[in-house]
Amino acid sequence: MTAEEIYKSLSAKFGEALVESKLDAPQPFLVLDPKRMKEVSLFLRDDEALQFDFCSCVSGVDYNNGKLGAIYHLASMVHKHKIVLKAFCTRENPHIQSVASVWGGADWHEREAYDLLGIIFDEHPDLRRILLPYDWEGYPLRKDYKVPEFYNGMKVPY
Amino acid sequence: MYELLHDLLGDSLLVYVIGAALPLLFVLPFAVVAVLLEMKVSAHMQDRVAYMYTGWHGVLQPVADILKLLQKEDTVPAAADKFLFRLAPFLVFMGGYAGFAALPFSSAYIGSNIDLGVFYILAVSSLAVIGLMMSGWASNNKWSLFGAMRSVAQIISYEIPSALSILVAVMIVGSLNLQEVSKFQEGGIQNWIVFGGPMPLLQKLLLLPFTITAFFILFLAGIAEVNRTPFDLPEAESELVQGYNTEYSGMKFAIFYLAEFANMFLVSGIVVSLYLGGWTSPFGDVMSGPIWSFFWFVAKGMFFVFLQVWIRWTLPRLRVDQLMYTSWKVLTPFLFVCIFAVGLILVL
Amino acid sequence: MTETRTLPTRYVTHPGELKTSSGRSLRTDEMIINMGPQHPSTHGVLRLEVVLDGEIVVDVIPHIGYLHRCFEKHAEHMTNYQQVIPYCDRMDYLSSMNNDWAYALAVERMMKIEVPPRVETIRVIMAELQRIASHLIAVGTYGIDMGAFTPFLWAFRDRERILDLFEMTCGARLLYNYIWIGGLSHDLPPGFVDKAKAFCTYFKPNIKELNDLLSYNEIFVKRTANVGVLPADVGINYGVSGPTLRGSGVNWDLRRDDPYGIYDKFEWEVQVGKGERGTLGDCWDRYIVRVREMEESVKIIEQALAVLPEGNVQAAIPKRIRPDSAEIYVRTETARGELGFYVVSDGTASPYRLKARAPAFVNLSVLPEISRGCMLADLVAIVGSVDIVLGEVDR
């Protein structure tokens, strides 16, 4: 299936959930409503013609204009097509609906995005820090992040 | 031997001390040799060369190791039960070492020529279980406790097959005294119990399958009792760090090691005395006599030590349930059949 | 439509339910035990919080991050794209070549750089040699996990030869920095082709030797077959990839299904688990897939060595690599599975955002799912069969 067909079958079902799309990019992507991620994802996974059964990667990005984004790279092992989903939120209200219950693989990736960028994935079963210590403060991959001078009273070298 | 010393020196404390220390003259050099053997054999199996620098082909390395262990700081964990923690290694070693008293090293030497020889060895070597349990408990470490629990379960379950397979040989000889058992098998390789013993030909042929089975099972159960691969679950490195001796260091650790090597030879010694003619020469009267018999006993024992090393570096480890399965559902039923058959053959 | 998929646990514990004959309840507690960060069989600094009921594992909670080196943050602060490559080396330190290639490929695709045919062939040779080296460690250390020490040293003996080849090529034995954007750092040294061919002939019989010693050993099969079964649908749902997924019978290899490089020019097969010794997708299947993949890799190397073309080893690329404002996700097949790089460029000389999709990270996340209800010794077997490299999990 090409990106356009995927777009069509999605827009027919979830008209308003699709905020934006760019189908002529080298890797076409669809921008989704961050509050309706799960139902769209479920449809993507379970629809016969789509069958996006493999969630390759979830990456968080700080766009440095007050916007944070979660980028989902999906692939279908059956139909061998790919699509990129994006969901944006603001820094003040960094909430995106989790898809960890749809793709188990998204679980740890979302935790990582939470850990490093502070995107809060609603309905995530176990949203804890994953790579950094549990008592770490701040989100290092945000562009305005400053390396703390002290961690737990210990001086951080350089 | 004790009687001889008694005649020479009279009834003094010295007699007991000397008598008790004599096997140590064997065990300590043996441990050094066994460490070297283990290292060299494993190295050559793995395309390595092992120690090469300390002495000729590294033969002095075990000595250097002992010196190092002697000098190491002897740490006791702060939360450990200090008294039991210190006591445990000695108890473990004692269990193995006491067994040497009833082992017939030569036609002229046995530490204590008691009539209940085999029974005594079985009983006394179980003492090690208490030591292992103690070390695991006193270390106050979950991994140690795990190892200790496993080793207790394992040693107790493997006592059954080893006792039963000893029984097979004892039934044929009719004595529990290991010196008697060895004497019984004199006259060459065909008289060893593993080949049916010095019986009439027909009886011998009938006994043969059962004695061979019992012999193998005794050896297997022996390996399990000294906790070596494939039965090394108590100190399963990849699962339990180092099992019951995780927290031990320096000389205490060395004593655990010494106990393991002493046990390796004890097990081999039991197998050899019961099934492979003990100190008797395989060529009948040729090359027999007290000195030769000592040589034969040690040579046979060392062969089985080598076999244990060989097995250790070849096979993976069993899982706990598989270990128990092997003991209770495979080895023990086989031995019941053996005992029944051997009894029947001997009576007829 | 089922929303969440959970596996039925094989064993359910009821702590506190053991009663004496007089009706008094014996208090039986579950034990929480920390496996790691320093533990012989966690292959690095993984910490598993294990809830045990006797020897039975009730639950496993992996805690990672002990080796976190801020790879992504570092990458954003480099002065150019090329400087990221040494950091990629250090992610999965057992398959550095594959990591370099994945990153170089991402930037090349972004800038639409065509690399010369000689480079493509050398990259395939290097990646496959690296795959063998990595699988040798996986297989060897798996032997240690099972208590067999000898296969480990045999594997290292053979890996040594591969490392010698790498050392001869680029001077390094572990972290190569060899595959660069648009080409390679050096051409192959004289005599490499002969030595690589000699390695292939030397190595083939050794696989059989390994099989005789370990793979078909009865105790080893008993320990690994029917243990830690990963059903194919669960594996796919969790995003598991590489030999771990192929062990479950899923015929999926990015070298073939999402082609990159020149893998389509060679004849080789994707090896999948068949459940020969137990259930499909058990530890033994995952193990044997790795062993068989080594044979396939040898095949690829031999073919690649035979067709190695002459030519330049560096494509014509701009001096300063500044991709246009764009983003790309490129995935490749390393020894552990799908290694993806998501590169976002803002037109400057360094990546705006670089996310590495590490295969071991994702594969590890399925561990709690497949190890509930097994024994402690099986947990070691499962962790080993998933083949994680903590450098990559934590990045």
pLDDT digits (tens, 9 = 90+) for A41-98: 888 888 888 888 888 889 888 888 888 888 999 888 888 888 888 888 888 888 888 8
Out of A80, A130, A140, name the one closest to residue C257 (CB): A80
Q: Extract the tokens encoding C338.
A: 């799908």
Per-residue pLDDT at B3: 64
pLDDT, mean of residues B108-119? 77
Out of C154, C219, C378, name the one closest to residue B315 (CB): C219
User: Does the beta-carbon distance from A57 to C328 stay under 8 Å?
Assistant: no
Per-residue pLDDT at C136: 92
Q: Extract the tokens encoding C278.
A: 């137990």
* C223 contacts in chain B (CB < 8 Å): 316-319, 322
Chain B interface disruption, residue of C145, C227, C371, most B CBs within 10 A: C145
Strand partners, B140: none
Task: Concatenate the DSSP letters of all residues of B189-206 into one string.
Answer: GGGSGGGT-S--HHHHHH
User: Does the beta-carbon distance from A140 to C70 stay under 8 Å?
Assistant: yes
CA dist., res. B88 & res. C281, Å (int): 44
Query: Which residue type does C27 have?
Result: R
- Percent pLDDT > 70 in chain A is 99
Out of C328, C331, C362, name the one closest to residue A26 (CB): C328
pLDDT, tens digit, for every residue of B249-284? 888 888 888 888 888 888 888 888 888 887 888 887
CA dist., res. B283 & res. B99, Å (int): 28
Q: Which of residues 115-154 of C touch B (CB under 8 A)?
A: 143-150, 153-154
CA dist., res. A22 & res. A7, Å (int): 10
Per-residue pLDDT at A85: 87
List CB contacts of B209: < 8 A, sequence separation 6 or more: none
Confidence of residue B29 (pLDDT cuts 50, 70, 90): confident
CA dist., res. B18 & res. B240, Å (int): 40
Nearest CA of chain C to the CA of B121: how many Å? 30
A101 close to C (CB below 8 A):
yes
C361 close to A (CB below 8 A):
yes
Strand duo C31-35 + A154-155: pairing = unpaired
pLDDT, mean of residues A24-30? 81
pLDDT, mean of residues B320-325? 83
φ/ψ of C195, rounded to 5, equals -65, -40
User: Does the beta-carbon distance from A106 to C362 stay under 8 Å?
Assistant: no
Per-residue pLDDT at C133: 92
Which of C226, C273, C266, C267 minimizes the C-alpha distance to C247? C273
If you compute the radius of gyration of chain C from its CA atoms, what whole number of angstroms results? 22
Chain C interface disruption, residue of A13, A39, A54, most C CBs within 10 A: A54
Out of C31, C39, C150, name the one closest to residue B314 (CB): C150
Q: Extract the tokens encoding B311.
A: 């097995």
Is the pLDDT confidence value at A142 over 50?
Answer: yes
A12 close to C (CB below 8 A):
no
Which of C322, C327, C304, C6 minimizes the C-alpha distance to C131? C304
Nearest CA of chain C to the CA of B241: how many Å? 6
CA dist., res. B188 & res. B285, Å (int): 7
Q: Extract the tokens encoding B279.
A: 């100190």
Per-residue pLDDT at C135: 92
Question: H helices then E strands: how many in chain B?
Answer: 14, 0
Nearest CA of chain C to the CA of B335: how many Å? 22
User: Does the beta-carbon distance from B238 to C153 stay under 8 Å?
Assistant: no
Is A35 in a helix, a strand, or coil? helix
User: Does the beta-carbon distance from A101 to C3 stay under 8 Å?
Assistant: yes
C395 close to A (CB below 8 A):
yes
Per-residue pLDDT at C22: 66
User: Does the beta-carbon distance from C250 to A77 stay under 8 Å?
Assistant: yes
Q: For residue C13, is it left (φ>0), alpha (ψ between -120 and 50) or beta?
A: beta
User: Does the beta-carbon distance from C355 to A73 stay under 8 Å?
Assistant: no
User: Does the beta-carbon distance from B318 to C223 stay under 8 Å?
Assistant: yes
User: Does the beta-carbon distance from B317 to C148 stay under 8 Å?
Assistant: yes
Q: Extract the tokens encoding C213.
A: 């010693």
Has the ipTM of the complex gone over 0.95?
A: no
pLDDT, mean of residues A110-130? 86
Query: Which residue type does B207 have?
Result: L
* C217 contacts in chain B (CB < 8 Å): 315-316
Is the pLDDT confidence value at A7 over 80?
Answer: no
The listed CATH number (3.30.460.80, 3.40.190.10, 3.40.50.720, 3.40.640.10) that belongs to domain A3-155: 3.30.460.80
* CA distances, B96 to each of B174, B256, B282 (Å): 25, 11, 28
* C76 contacts in chain A (CB < 8 Å): 141
The region of weakest confidence among B9-23, B119-133, C139-153, C248-262 is B9-23
* B237 contacts in chain C (CB < 8 Å): 40, 144, 147
Out of A77, A108, A131, name the one closest to residue C362 (CB): A108
Out of C239, C357, C394, name the one closest to residue A103 (CB): C239
C331 close to A (CB below 8 A):
yes
* CA distances, A108 to each of A73, B39, C191 (Å): 14, 44, 46
CA dist., res. A109 & res. A54, Å (int): 13
C202 close to B (CB below 8 A):
no
User: Does the beta-carbon distance from C39 to B241 stay under 8 Å?
Assistant: yes
pLDDT, mean of residues B305-328? 86
List CB contacts of C260: < 8 A, sequence separation 6 or more: C105, C254, C330, C332
Question: Which residue ranges of chain C lie beneath pLDDT 50?
Answer: 1-16
Q: Is the CA virtual torsion C142, C147, C149, C154 positive or negative?
A: negative
- The b-or-e profile of B249-270 (16+ CB within 10 A means b, else e) is beebbbbbbbbbbbbbbbbbbb
Cis peptide, bond prior to residue B230, ω within 30 of zero: yes
Out of A73, A108, A132, name the one closest to residue C329 (CB): A73
* A60 contacts in chain C (CB < 8 Å): 355
C neighbour chains, 3+ CB pairs within 8 Å = A, B
Out of C31, C41, C55, name the one closest to residue B320 (CB): C55
DSSP assigned state of B331: I
List CB contacts of C307: < 8 A, sequence separation 6 or more: C121, C265
Search chain A and give the residue with CA nearest C259.
Answer: A80
CA dist., res. C389 & res. C395, Å (int): 10
User: Residue A109, CB half-sphere, CA atoms under 13 Å: how many?
Assistant: 31
Domain coordinates of chain B in residue numbers? 80-347
Per residue, what are the HEC states of C58-108?
EEEEEECCCCCCCHHHHHHCCCCHHHHHHHHHCCCCCCHHHHHHHHHHHHH
* C40 contacts in chain B (CB < 8 Å): 237-238, 241
User: Does the beta-carbon distance from C147 to B48 stay under 8 Å?
Assistant: no
Which of A24, A25, A101, A117 minimizes the C-alpha distance to A69? A117
Tokens 């990458």 found at: C75
Q: Extract the tokens encoding A93.
A: 């209200």
pLDDT, tens digit, for every residue of B194-228? 887 777 788 888 888 888 888 888 888 888 888 77
Find the helix or strand (DSSP H, E) in which C33 lies.
Answer: strand C31-35
Confidence of residue B1 (pLDDT cuts 50, 70, 90): low
φ/ψ of A155, rounded to 5, equals -75, 130
Is the pLDDT confidence value at B176 over 60?
Answer: yes
Tokens 């561990």 found at: C367
CA dist., res. C323 & res. C344, Å (int): 9
Tokens 């562009």 found at: A143
Q: Is the CA virtual torsion B128, B134, B140, B145 positive or negative?
A: positive
By CB neighbour count within 10 A (0-12 exposed, 13-18 middle, 19+ buried), where does C259 fall?
Answer: exposed
Nearest CA of chain C to the CA of B269: how many Å? 26
User: Does the beta-carbon distance from B46 to C150 stay under 8 Å?
Assistant: yes
Search chain A and give the residue with CA nearest C258.
Answer: A80
Detail the DSSP E strand segments found in B120-239: none
Per-residue pLDDT at C10: 41
CA dist., res. B239 & res. A114, Å (int): 33
Q: Please give the distance of CA A47 from its chain centroid, rounded to a whole number.
A: 21
Number of neighbours of residue C290 by Cβ within 10 angstroms = 25
* A54 contacts in chain C (CB < 8 Å): 236, 239
CA dist., res. B139 & res. B200, Å (int): 56
Search chain C and give the residue with CA nearest A75.
Answer: C239
* Residue C373 contacts residue C72 (beta carbons within 8 Å): no
User: Does the beta-carbon distance from C73 to A46 stay under 8 Å?
Assistant: no
CA dist., res. C329 & res. C132, Å (int): 26
User: Does the beta-carbon distance from C236 to A77 stay under 8 Å?
Assistant: yes
Which of B136, B150, B128, B321 minimizes the C-alpha distance to B236? B150
φ/ψ of C175, rounded to 5, equals -115, 105
Tokens 């040594």 found at: C160
List CB contacts of A13: < 8 A, sequence separation 6 or more: A43
Per-residue pLDDT at C143: 87
Q: Going by beta carbons, is chain B in contact with chain A, meaning 3 or more pairs sit under 8 Å apart?
A: no
Strand partners, A90: A67
Query: Which residue type does C94 have?
Result: L
Q: What is the homologous superfamily of the domain C71-394 according to CATH?
A: Cytochrome-c3 Hydrogenase, chain B (1.10.645.10)
Is C341 in a helix, a strand, or coil? strand
pLDDT, mean of residues B305-327? 86
Number of neighbours of residue C274 by Cβ within 10 angstroms = 12
Nearest CA of chain A to the CA of C299: how many Å? 26
Out of A61, A103, A131, name the one closest to residue C353 (CB): A61
Out of C33, C145, C147, name the one closest to residue B230 (CB): C147
Sheet with strand C47-53: strands edge to edge = C31-35, C47-53, C56-63
Per-residue pLDDT at C4: 42
The region of weakest confidence among B2-6, B84-88, C138-142, C242-246 is B2-6
CA dist., res. B46 & res. C215, Å (int): 17
φ/ψ of A60, rounded to 5, equals -95, 140
User: Does the beta-carbon distance from B316 to C146 stay under 8 Å?
Assistant: yes
Find the helix or strand (DSSP H, E) in which B142 lies.
Answer: helix B142-173
Confidence of residue B237 (pLDDT cuts 50, 70, 90): low
Cis peptide, bond prior to residue C37, ω within 30 of zero: yes
Per-residue pLDDT at B140: 83
Per-residue pLDDT at C13: 45
Sheet with strand A54-62: strands edge to edge = A18-22, A29-32, A82-90, A67-75, A54-62
Which of B85, B76, B97 minimizes the C-alpha distance to B19? B97
User: Does the beta-carbon distance from B42 to C149 stay under 8 Å?
Assistant: yes
DSSP assigned state of B289: S
Q: Extract the tokens encoding B245.
A: 């001796």
Is C185 in a helix, a strand, or coil? coil
* Residue B224 contacts residue B154 (beta carbons within 8 Å): yes
